[in-house]
Structure formats: structure tokens, C-alpha cells
Amino acid sequence: MDSILVTGNGPVNGQIPIAGAKNACLTLMPATLLSEEPLTLTNAPRLSDIKTMTALLQSLGAEVSSLQDGQVQAMSSHDLTSQTADYEIVRKMRASNLVLGPLLARFGHAVVSLPGGCAIGARPMDLHVEGLEALGAEIELKDGYLYAKAPGGLKGAVHEMRFASVGATENIVMAATLAKGTTVLKNAAREPEIVDLVECLRKMGAQIAGEGTSTIEIQGVDRLHGATHQVVTDRIELGTYMLAPAICGGEVELLGGRMRLVESFAAKLDAAGVSVTETDKGLKVARKNGRVSAVDVVTEPFPGFPTDLQAQMMALMCTAEGTSVLEERIFENRFMHAPELVRMGANIEVHGGTATVTGVERLKGAPVMATDLRASVSLILAGLAAEGETTVSRVYHLDRGYEHVVRKLEGVGAKIERIKGQ
């Protein structure tokens, strides 16, 4: 298995291009299942998760062509042959469950495996099921699979989610586009990826209002047509690389970055002593003075501080002046990076969903292990700021969500290389 070798070597300077959002692409791709006509996505990220979604769509009979070195995904669901998302694919990636809403809406039935346990928590699907049942679906759990049907077709309804789940919002919105009548989804998630999905669905002929707020209204239509859509910038990749100059010093411009995507995160950086300014090309980030100061963080649904940047923020707090408290409120088991950071000399105590981090002057390089996608990149960031060499193993986690991580960080002067495993 490959590993990544990082050598701490001072400030980073230059520009980093930010890719299209993995999480947006993973919900935009299943949207192809809603229409017989082609859907083409541009600005797609080159990631193994996208390949997994491609394999899933192909297993349903969709045609998916990856063009322009993977930056364009051209899809057609004209001749689907199956409405079953198999465990063998779903177990690799939870976002596979996003085929449920579209398949059910277009065909009146779908069978989707439950994703099973996930390294960062239980991640059940009850909120997806409740929303689709409100639209008239009958859903039964049998042998690890959700068997969903809507014999008379889905019907619009008013439904309030108990929690603003991102995936459930996406599944319910996609399903409602082809339901009879009007659906009002209350307590909907407001993430930019949902706004991006709605913009694409609208190009396909869907009638939707209120995206980006907690009430989304969908007027069902008989059919959707083809479209071409550009995937929104990845705010998590953006936030991750914003931390490189914050943790190492120097000044980096993140190309394609927009403040509206990372408002709460940028506010925390500002409070910690890191300036973020919007330019015509992206976001420029640099420390205001020397060492950053400790700040407290609570993860929340958008527009709050994203859980997907908690591990990376913890890496920064490991070298901040003072003590910070990081509270994880979205996932119950998302501090697996903490013991790895401790191996690098960090001072962290974890109690339940709260981590208390007391900054040290300098971390020390060590062999560490990636445990999930965001944890893996937090260890790379920590390695950039550490004295000596850090080897991060199990980098297949990283390949799921960060394209060309070595090239991008090398481009701003970091000493980082990928070591091929046997």
C-alpha cells in the first residue's frame, strides 16, 4: 500500500487550484437516473469515490464516459437494466444510497443495500426512509436491503425532517421532482452542494424553490430532460488547503475559492490570527502575525463549522498558543486522528464528542496511519508543520477525496512525496 512522506520545511507560498466538489458530484451523478436524456457534468474531481459512483451507475445499466482526463462525466440513463444497488458497491461508499430517490421516482421501485457501518459513526438511513415514505413510498428492510416501491407513483407532501441530513435532503428533493403535486421539505439541509444539485435539476426541467434555506418547495413534473452542469468548487478541499499557510506560514491563493462557501470556517481562522481575503481569482490566506491562537470549534450543519474540516482544524490547533475545545456534533466517532496527532507530540484529550487541545510549540514527525478521508489529510497538514519526517500510511482514504494532493502541495513549496507500496 502506498504512503505519503512529508518533511516539515517552513512556509508555503503560491497558488493551489481547487477542484469541483466531491460531495456535489456524488449527488449530481445519480441525478442522471431521473431522465432518459444525457446529463453531462464539467469540473468533476478526479477521485476514487467518483469511480465508485461510476461503477454503481454502470451496474444499473447507465452509460458513463469519463472525458478530458476525468474532468467531464458524460452520462446517459436511457436504457437502465436494473434498479438494484448491490451491497458490493454500496459498502464501499455511503453516498451510493443517493440512487434510491431517483430510481424510485422514475421507476416506482428500487432496491438499495444499506451502507453498513462506517469508520466515523453509525450513519443510518432512517431520515431518507421517512421522507420517501411521506411521499407515498412503501419501504421494507429485508436482508440488509431497503426494498422501496411506490405502485401509484410518488405524491407530493409536506414533510419536516427531524434533523437536517444532507443525503436525506438530496434523496427527497430528487424523488420529489417527479412526484405528483407539490412537496414542501422543512428543516432541509442548506449545504452548497444541495444548492448545486437544485441548480442542475432546474436545468433538467425541475421546478424547485428555496434551496439554500431550510424550506425547499418542489413542484413535481412529468419528466426531466438532459442538461450540462458545472460542479461547484469543493469547499472542503478549499478549507483544507487554506490551513496550509495557516499551519506553516507563508501566503497561498486558493484558485476558485469563494468566501460564501467557507464563511464560518474563515471566521474561525480570522479569530485564530489568520487573514482570508477574497480576490478576483479565489481566496488569499496568510497568518496575520506569528503563531496562531487557540479557538473553540463546534461542528454544525451548514452554515455552521463543517464536520469535514474538524480534523484539519485540530491539526492547526495542535500548534496554536493556548487551549482549544473542539466539539463534534455531527458524527459520534470522529476523533480517530487525535491519537495519531498525539504520536506527533500533540497534547489532546478526548472525552466523548469533545477534544481539548493544548498547543505545543512544534510537532515532531512520526509514522502515522490514516483512518478516514479527512483524518488522513489532517495528518499531512500536521506533517507540514512538524520537525522531521512524517509517513502517513493507508493513503487510499486520501485518494477518495483529494486529487493530486502531492502535486498541489509541492506547487507551493512543501516537501511531500508518494512512496509506492509493494
- Residues labelled catalytic: 118
Give yes or no for residue 141 binding ligand UD1 (CB under 6 A): no
Helix axes 166-176, 192-203, angle to 10 degrees: 10
Q: Which is nearer to ligand UD1, 57 or 330 (CB)?
A: 330
The candidate with the shortest Cα–Cα distance to 367, out of 349, 388, 392, 346, is 392
CA atoms 404, 405, 410, 413: torsion sign: positive
Task: Judge contact between 18 and 234, C-beta under 8 A.
Answer: yes
> Grid coordinates 477518495 are at which residue?
400
Rounded to a whole number of angstroms, the minimum distance from the CB of residue 382 to ligand UD1 is 20
Choosing from 3, 23, 40, 310, the residue that interacts with ligand UD1 (CB under 6 A) is 23
- Contact segment (CB under 6 A) with ligand UD1 among 37-45, 59-67, 163-171, 213-221 equals 163-171
Task: Judge contact between 71 and 112, C-beta under 8 A.
Answer: no
User: What string marks each residue from 185 to 214 as x (binds ligand UD1 by CB under 6 A) or -?
Assistant: --------x---------------------
Give yes or no for residue 95 binding ligand UD1 (CB under 6 A): yes
Q: Which is nearer to ligand UD1, 292 or 309 (CB)?
A: 309
Alpha helices in 318-385 (DSSP H): 337-343, 373-385
Choosing from 73, 77, 96, 165, the residue that interacts with ligand UD1 (CB under 6 A) is 165
The candidate with the shortest Cα–Cα distance to 361, out of 345, 378, 377, is 345
Q: Which is nearer to ligand UD1, 77 or 169 (CB)?
A: 169
Task: Judge contact between 24 and 231, C-beta under 8 A.
Answer: yes
SS3 335: coil
Torsion angles phi and psi, residue 257, rounded to 5: -70, 145
Choosing from 44, 56, 103, 127, the residue that interacts with ligand UD1 (CB under 6 A) is 127
User: What string marks each residue from 307 to 336 as x (binds ligand UD1 by CB under 6 A) or -?
Assistant: xx---------------------xx-----
Q: Which is nearer to ligand UD1, 23 or 77 (CB)?
A: 23
Please report, as ranges, the residues that interact with ligand UD1 according to CB under 6 A: 23, 26, 94-95, 121-128, 163, 165-168, 193, 307-308, 330-331
